[in-house]
Structure 1
């Protein structure tokens, strides 16, 4: 089920709205010494929101970031999601820094998925998930028509990704569904077709994700 989207004039406005929502939900979830588990996908849209959020406040000590998915590449590879997120975190000065839970995808999809499952069980249920929608409709490494969309485990082995690299490790829809707050970002003309297909009721990954907050710019919605 899809919530009513918030449609902004520009992508920058959509990211600002998403940033406000993200900070509000983190504040609600991290009262006192309570940790807030925030699952984030890779990609420019999510990083635009995080960059705004990091600039808006400096105390992130109660936040645990968990990556939504990872490519099976060596640690430090420029195409890995954790490399990009660590670089973004390191580019800011914090009063207290967030914790980052990386996915050990460098060990291969099978071993990486087993280890991720164990890590997620220790971290516990997510409070917030923030993902972006790709132009082919995939979120994290969960692609349209994939059997992994109905997985009941918290992590999934991906060996047939339509986009390179083919081998990946991803959190599952079952894990995402545990979050109270699920934020979806969708901006740009190349996302327009996905918006139309979703409005027509197509069971794309975002429909399964069932966002509680859905931010688009006018390019993606017109």
Structure 2
């Protein structure tokens, strides 16, 4: 299931979404003493990150992670970790904890096993998941072109994380699986631009998740994915 929430501008969207995210994090902290949120990379969330970083919250009780990460050096322009540190983990939000997906030089089976265990023990299930979406309908690093897409979308997959080798995008990736992301208490799809509206409309009007993995979230019977869009 999904709900489409249209905003008149990106600034309005960022402000509105930041307020709602903080309210959800505050409620989680009130309920259980801590909160967890996974964010996505790319250029779309930069404004949102900067808005969040200035807002009052018990950030020391919040753990932030990424829905996926490219296995690149942390100083690379392609690093989502760098993006988060430079735009979100600033100002008041600098007090938040960060769960690193990219740890070490190589994504070995042992590294992946250790990260799976750590994720399950510390941040899952997520209180908030903020997804992005590519022009091909991929989300996180669940790419329709990858050999790993079957495992990535398997609702019975017991792994929290998997290694992904997309054929239509650069870099090896690490990504949370659909099964682990679907446990999130709040799921938000953050989109901007006319082209992304066309892509999400195509996703809404079809059912094949292997063609467009975002459909796994939009058409899941017990998930209520909130689509936040602005031109």
Q: SS of the counterpart of 2:214? A: helix
Alignment correspondent of 2:61 = 62
Is the 1:38–1:127 contact (alpha carbons within 8 Å) kept by the matching residues of 2?
yes
Unaligned runs of 5+ in 1: none
The alignment status of 1:100 with 2:98, answered yes or no, reads yes
What corresponds to 2:196 in structure 1?
191
**1:62-85 Cα distance to aligned partner (Å, 9 max, x none):** 100011111111343231111111
Specify the SS of the correspondent of 1:29.
Answer: helix
Query: What is the correspondence of 1:150-189 to structure 2 with a 5 Å cutoff?
Result: 150=154, 152=157, 153-165=159-171, 167-189=172-194
Q: 2:153 aligns with which of 149, 153, 157?
A: 149
- Measure how far apart 1:96 and its partner are: 6.6
Please name the residue that 1:126 is paired with.
126
Mapped partners of 1:24, 1:34: distance in 2: 14
Structure 1 residues 177 and 61: alpha-carbon distance in aligned structure 2, compared to 1, 3 A threshold:
same
Displacement, 1:93? 2.4
Q: Distance in 1 between matches of 2:185 and 2:93?
A: 27
Aligned residues, how many? 215
- Equivalent position of 1:213 in the other structure: 226
- The corresponding residue for 2:25 is 26
How far 1:110 sits from its partner (Å)? 3.7
Separation in 2, partners of 1:93, 1:4: 32
* Maintained 8 Å contact 1:69/1:141: yes
Hey, what does 1:138 align to over in structure 2?
138
Structure 2: stretches of 5+ with no match in the other structure: 219-223
Q: Assess if the C-alpha contact under 8 Å between 1:109 and 1:169 holds in 2.
A: no
With normalisation by structure 2, the TM-score equals 0.83
Q: CA deviation at 1:138?
A: 1.3
Give the match's secondary structure for 2:198: helix
Please give the root-mean-square deviation of Cα atoms over the aligned residues, in Å.
2.2
**Distance of 1:111 and 1:77 partners within structure 2:** 24
Counterpart Cα distance in 1 of 2:50 and 2:6: 21
Q: Which runs of 4+ in 1 moved over 6 A?
A: none
2:86 is matched with 87
Aligned to 1:200: 205
TM-score, normalised to structure 1, is 0.86
Alpha carbons of 1:112 and 1:74: their partners in 2 closer, same or farther (altered >3 Å)?
farther
